[in-house]
């Protein structure tokens, strides 16, 4: 498959089988991420890999507490962007177990030293490399923005340093839901082309 075909077929996967990835598969995904470009070649990312189901559930429960409060807040609609999105989050929270990481067998947390100006961009490029490589290998993935709301003490327990902060999480695993529907991209977003 060409790289453009991989890009076209990649989807954010939100349904995973319980089958574990091998250490070799995870290491190859991480290597793909570390091959991404970074500002001044600082490679500002660090990765915490979690494959222990009890720990993943504990991280998910930490975020669930935050989300439960947010969906009941007076400003829930403005926070989540729409009533439909609030309802989706509420429905997801009813599942109780691993409502955040979709039951994926591998969670990767992207952590950086605090105050690194280009770290969000660097981590974004690393995550895209990882998503594309995983897709090529028949492995599903999804960036998990809500991972930002894992309680700091839980992040420290899994290895984040006091000097670091979490950018986001990402999940990987096998899925029957890899291809989804056609691209829903608006290709009329070129606002202006100055020649």
Half-sphere exposure of 6 (CA within 13 A, CB side): 17
pLDDT of 154 higher than 90: yes
Q: Supply 53's token pair.
A: 């189901």
Using alpha carbons only, what angle is made at residue 137 by residues 124 and 166, rounded to the nearest 5 degrees?
Answer: 25
User: What is the per-residue DSSP string for 126-148?
Assistant: HHHHHHHHHHHTT-EEEEEGGGG
Q: Is the pLDDT of residue 182 over 60?
A: no
Long-range contacts of 156-161 (CB under 8 A, 24+ apart): 158/48, 158/50, 158/55, 158/59, 158/109, 159/48, 160/48, 160/109, 160/111, 161/111
DSSP 3-state of 35: coil
Asked if the model's pLDDT at residue 122 lies above 80, the reply is yes
Q: What are the structural domains, with CATH classification, of the chain?
A: 3-173 (3.40.109.10)
For range 109-126, the mean pLDDT: 96
CA distances from residue 156 to 102, 106, 161, 192 in whole angstroms, order as listed = 22, 18, 6, 45
**What pLDDT digit, counting tens, does each position of 6-18 carry?**
888 888 999 999 9
47 forms beta bridges with 110
Q: Is 183 left (phi over 0), alpha (psi -120 to 50) or beta?
A: beta
What pTM did the predictor assign? 0.91
Check whether 60 has a pLDDT greater than 70: yes
Give the mean pLDDT of 55-68: 92
Strand 164-173 to 140-144 pairing: antiparallel
Q: What is the pLDDT of residues 78-105, one digit of tens each?
A: 989 999 999 988 888 887 678 899 999 9
- The arithmetic mean of pLDDT across residues 104-119, rounded, is 96
Separation between Cα atoms, residue 2 and residue 5, nearest integer Å: 5
Closest by CA position to 130, among listed 40, 53, 47:
47
User: 105 and 21 in contact (C-beta within 8 Å)?
Assistant: yes
CA 148 from chain centre, in angstroms, equals 10
């Amino acid at each position: 498959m060409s790289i453009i075909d991989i890009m076209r077929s990649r989807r954010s996967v939100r349904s995973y089988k319980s089958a574990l990835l091998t250490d070799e598969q995870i290491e190859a995904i991480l290597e793909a991420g570390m091959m991404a470009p970074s500002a001044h070649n600082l490679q500002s990312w660090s990765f915490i890999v979690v494959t222990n189901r009890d720990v993943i559930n504990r991280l998910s429960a930490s975020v669930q507490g935050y989300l439960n409060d947010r969906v009941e807040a007076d400003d829930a609609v403005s926070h989540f962007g729409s009533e439909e999105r609030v309802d989706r989050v509420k429905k997801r929270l009813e599942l109780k177990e691993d409502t955040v990481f979709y039951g994926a067998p591998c969670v990767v947390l992207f952590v950086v030293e605090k105050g690194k100006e280009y770290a969000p961009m660097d981590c974004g490029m690393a995550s895209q490399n990882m998503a594309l490589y995983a897709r090529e290998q028949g492995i599903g993935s999804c960036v998990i923005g809500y991972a930002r709301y894992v309680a700091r003490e839980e992040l420290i327990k899994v290895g984040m340093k006091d000097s670091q902060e979490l950018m986001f999480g990402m999940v990987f695993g096998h899925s029957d839901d890899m291809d989804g529907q056609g691209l829903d991209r608006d290709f009329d977003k070129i606002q202006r082309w100055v020649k």
